[in-house]
Amino acid sequence: MTTMYQQQTVAIDRVEQMVSRLKKSDHRITPQRLAIFKILANSVGHPSAEAIHGALLDNHPTMSLATVYKTLTLLKQEGEVLELQFSDLGNRYDGNKPYPHPHVICTGCGTIVDPSLLDLDDITKKMMNETGFKIVAHRLDFYGICPECQKNG
């Protein structure tokens, strides 16, 4: 039952987490930022900056795309959003899991899904020993064709 309750409120928890993190770092909570937090916390896919902006225009007609970018930069700094860089698709953002985790990406339609987590700690240690790098993060993407695109040829 704890689990079910957590699942229902996970989005709200994320918004609260973002708010408290920004307060701690002496940043102001504006209506624009709050609205962006909510979009990020409620998105299941991995929206682009422009997708976030588009979703906000209904309730915030004057929302600027620059504000979306600035807020994303801020959340990146504070470790509250994960940025997935794609020079072709454009960057995508995960506000629900702001820590490294694998992604499965459809090269047909651009869909990005979160599979179950993977423990790469052992591999990471091996890489540090081998290269001498101090590794703090990773990125693991799998590329393929989603079930939907497989059907549609």
Partner DNA sequence: ATCGAATGGATAACTATTCTCAATAAGAAG
Partner DNA sequence: CTTCTTATTGAGAATAGTTATCCATTCGAT
**Which residues of this protein are in contact with its own copies, per CB under 8 A?**
85-88, 90-91, 102, 104, 106-107, 113, 115-116, 118, 123-124, 127-128, 130-147, 150
Q: Nearer to its own copies by C-beta: 34 or 127? A: 127
Separation between Cα atoms, residue 116 and residue 114, nearest integer Å: 7
Angle at 63 between CA 57 and CA 65, to 5 degrees: 100
Residue window 21-40: x/- pattern of binding to DNA, with contact defined by CB under 7 A: ------xxxxxxx-------
**Alpha carbon 68 to chain centroid, angstroms:** 14
Please tell me whether residue 109 binds Zn ion under the rule CB under 5 A: yes
Q: Which residues pair with 82 in a beta bridge?
A: 94
Minimum CB distance to Zn ion, residue 107 (Å): 8
Please tell me whether residue 65 binds DNA under the rule CB under 7 A: yes
**Which residue type does 103 have?**
H
**Alpha carbon 58 to chain centroid, angstroms:** 22
Separation between Cα atoms, residue 72 and residue 76, nearest integer Å: 6
- Contact pick of 106, 113, 120, 127 for Zn ion (by CB under 5 A): 106
- Contact pick of 39, 55, 94, 98 for Mn ion (by CB under 5 A): 94
Q: Nearer to DNA by C-beta: 59 or 150? A: 59
Separation between Cα atoms, residue 117 and residue 150, nearest integer Å: 25
Q: Nearer to Zn ion by C-beta: 61 or 132? A: 132
